[in-house]
Structure 1
Amino acid sequence: MVGGTYRSFRKHLFTRLLTMYHIVILPIIILGIYLYIWSYNYASEEISRHTENQLKVYLENLNREFIWMETQQYNLLQDNELQTVALTWQIMNNVEKKESMQYLIDRLMAIKSTSAYIDDISIHIQTIDLSVSAIGDVQSYDSEYYQSIYPKTKEDYYFINVVDDSLMLIVESMSRDLDGQPYFYVEIVLDKAKLESSLDSINLYENNGFFLMSEEQDLLWQSTDASEEILLPYLDTLDNEGDSNKRMLTIGDEEYQFSQANDEERNLTVISYLPEEEVERPLGFFKNWVWLFGVFVIFAIIVYAYSTYRLVHRPLLVLVDAFRRVEKGDLDQPIEHNNKGEFGYLYNRFNKMIRRLRALIDRNYKQTLMVQKAELKQLQSQINPHFLYNSFFILNSLAQTEDIPRLERFTQMLGEYYKFITRNGDNVIDLKNEIRHARMYTDIQNMRFSRRIKIEFEELPEELTPIKVPKLFVQPIIENAYKYSLEDKTEAGLLRVSFVSKKNEAEIIVEDNGEKLTDVEIRKLEDRVKNPTKSQEITGLINIHRRIVLTFAEGSGIYLAKSELGGLKVNVRLVLKEDL
């Protein structure tokens, strides 16, 4: 029967899930198209931003290299040895000339080795008609070569000078001859191949090209596969469209995405182009697979969440609420349903369970009452013969001394005492009456031990008086204190009874200053009280502990410890239930 119901439910669930699929698939497709368009635009912007950042970083790194080169050039211009050679060459001897030339060569070679972008570095000394190079040593001064580059540096300064397809950084001495010509100048020839390879190092896409342009839009160098035919149309648009760092441009049959970054300090511009198909290429895979996976996942999540809520979560909430009612003690509200599936089976089992629980609780409650009555009768029957004998001796002593007032009081207390413990009435009484009986017992004992034992019995707090407690549980604890701790003391005995009132909790503390029990013995006594199967020697305390546990909430019972007075401390903890 259960198997057939399960299979029918599975078939019904499949039909409902299939119906929900057709309902939710259309909005998901629309959402997917929107997400693809958004992703494409986002990816395009990301590629553009990444390219611009690459170009800026490239210019920053290049600028640091040029700053270093310029610093070395100007340091050379201020070099004392170079100035000495330029001005006093004619009066120097051969040894001094050789040493000076070697010093300058070493200096140039050291500078060349500090940067991969330096192809050669030279000092052209016009005053002595010599040129010193890091790779060519000392050569004759080439006045025609000097004249080919000097006018450019004189008429209009360019940071990078282009001479016969060579890239140069040139600085000249401020000291000049009568014709206005500088005594010397320092020339760095840049390694164009290394500069081009530096652009190749930032190329992350196929058919991607990079160009470095001067202020006059002269091409200084470019990446290996870059095409000038693509660059020229873009340069034409700069005059018309301003200085935007990103631009889409159609050249021939293809669309290109251009990006650029500018170095205002050096008047240099680096430009890159990327075919639009390279931008779309990584998104093609994204379009085919991410869409498929995304649609499937979103569909699965929505269907699963909705189906789980309707078919599992909501019925489960009904069951959870029912269990919460049971936790609160409400066993009179079964689950009403018409569910024919697995949850219907669970609901029926739950209803059957609470019916059985009600029956078991009723039976257990009756058994508990019977056990408590039996234990109380057992305690009532355990009248201490020694206490009875001693009471008779006290009566005899009072009669012989003709102490009529004390005799009357003692006989009245003794009568009330035995009337309380032998009366077969309610098993549960007010704590006020229980404490009155315990105080009466200590008054009787005080007439016997008044010279040896002092009694400190606090007043019961008013808020604790109406608490319903099992009958006859405090006096046996006090009786044990006399019997096992105080009876043999010849002087200075002390019995203290105190009370602690807390929220939903009351404590009755009985302690003495007896010296018989050690810490180890107290722990063993605690174990015997909490685990009565291990020992049956102290039936009174065991019965009291069991009755308190049955009557009050969790945490109630007898707790034994070493008293600050030096003897045994018995703490009776009563944790009140909500209905007490």
Structure 2
Amino acid sequence: MLKRPEFSFRNTIFIRLVTTFMLIMLPIILLGVYIYQWSIRTASDDISKTAVSQISFYLGDLENEIERMKLLQYGLIEDTDLNMLAITWETMGDIERMEKITSVLNRIFSLQNSSNYIHNVSVHIRPISKTLSSINGAGEFDGDRYRAIRADIEGQGAKFIQWEGNLLLSAAKPSGMKGREPLFTIDIELDSRKLRQALQQFNTYAGSSALLLSGRQGFVLGSGSVNALDGEARRLISGIDDGGSGTVTLQDERYFVSHAYSDRLDMSIYRFIPEQIVRKPLDKFYTLAWFFAAGAFVIIAVYALSTYKFIHKPMLRLVKGFRRLESGDLKQAIDHKANDEFRYIYSRFNKMVVNLRTLIDQAYKQKIMAQRAELKQLQSQINPHFLYNSFFILNTMAKVGDTDRIEQFTTQLGEYFQFVTRNASDEVTLGQEVHHARMYTEIQELRFSRRIKVRFDELPAELVRVVVPRLIVQPIIENAFEHSLEKMTRDGIVEIRFERSKEWACIVIEDNGDRLTDEKLMRISSAIAYENEKSETTGIVNIHRRIVITYGEGSGLRVARGQLGGLKVTIRVPLKGVGAIVQIADR
């Protein structure tokens, strides 16, 4: 007689599953507790490191900006007209005095406009009892401000001082005689509103704050809930090292504080992040972990029976979905009503299918964004030679007293830079684009009036409202001046004309430069015709790519040798189509 196998409840698969599951769950629960504590520390460290990195990076940029201001300030201190005003005022005539004051004011205005952080630039000239300001112009001598700056500055060099709640970058011009007061002082008043707006970028969390402290002057500028410090608060945050973080309690609120310090500026930035921002999500995780542990014991009872229904069957549906996806079905979607892990997997799967459907569109948009980035870079690259030459022309006009042409020239120059630096839109009307190009050619004609002539046709009225990408005409004209005609000693010609067919509007820029070889022309044509991501992107190629991205094939640039003998560039944009609708406004 065969012995029946022993059977006991403890040997059943159910018990084994329950026991195995509990053995698995126990370390998971313990691990969850450990992960919770570790997550708090890690999240705090990561947030603190990120905060320190961000404020250190900003402080470094601010250092560079202040150093640039100092260089401009040193240049203004050594300005010839300013020193002549301070030294030879009594020997000057009225006209010469006015010219020197105007020259110094122009330089002050340029210094103010060189940075968003500058609110006002003032020059206090003691010998002539005048104060020149970028806001108020020439006015009465501000003796109180002059004496405050003189008393705080020792020797040469620009320093920060606090004056009536504002932060001034100040410097003085020594008189050259021991014990004598400086000839003049220059102070750059930083714009507290702009600095506060810059600090606002660090308030990415609810209740977070940022503070800028100037150590020697005690200047405090805040953004957010913590915008001032009492003695106790200063003592607490002073214990946080440069590049480090800590936790302090301010105004009955506990904060993670990150600190970055600039020795060159003697400035500190403190960033305050509420501690609850870090702990609140993790507290939810801790609660959910306990619910998971309790629910695990309930799930054991139905685990074996539900394995097929809740695991195997949904897995088969997912596998079938992947097979349909491999066969090219991009319109499918898997619906799952149960609130479990597969619901998340299915939602990710459905989102992946949607992403695949939009992949081509995304790639197209990425290309557009890349072209926009190239446009922003093109806008930001103001040719320094053009700027220097423009100021040289302006200086020459001022010296000869040609006030009428100075007004015309400065208006043109202002419109030119306003158009170049404006970021409001990537597209403008052809009328605006041509007006900007005309301003540029008129400025260049002043420079090359004896050597280069410009023939600029009038834009046909029916093309004025055609919408085009910004900065597509002026860079081509600039290319003609710089690379074709600049070396010519006489008889240089740049010709701009407009042509229209039934479907296309064409802008033709042609010059008579003698430096265009067949090899160079072929290289330019190849760069335009065969786009190569690894090749150098020149201004002409940049313009061609942006036009093709906007309007499609058939548009863009065409280059050839013109009838004048130099380079001929034809810009083609459609009169109808995406982004090129002729907008005739009946207003």
Task: Give the TM-score normalised by structure 1.
Answer: 0.45
Task: Give the TM-score normalised by structure 2.
Answer: 0.45
Structure 1 or 2: more helix by fraction: 1
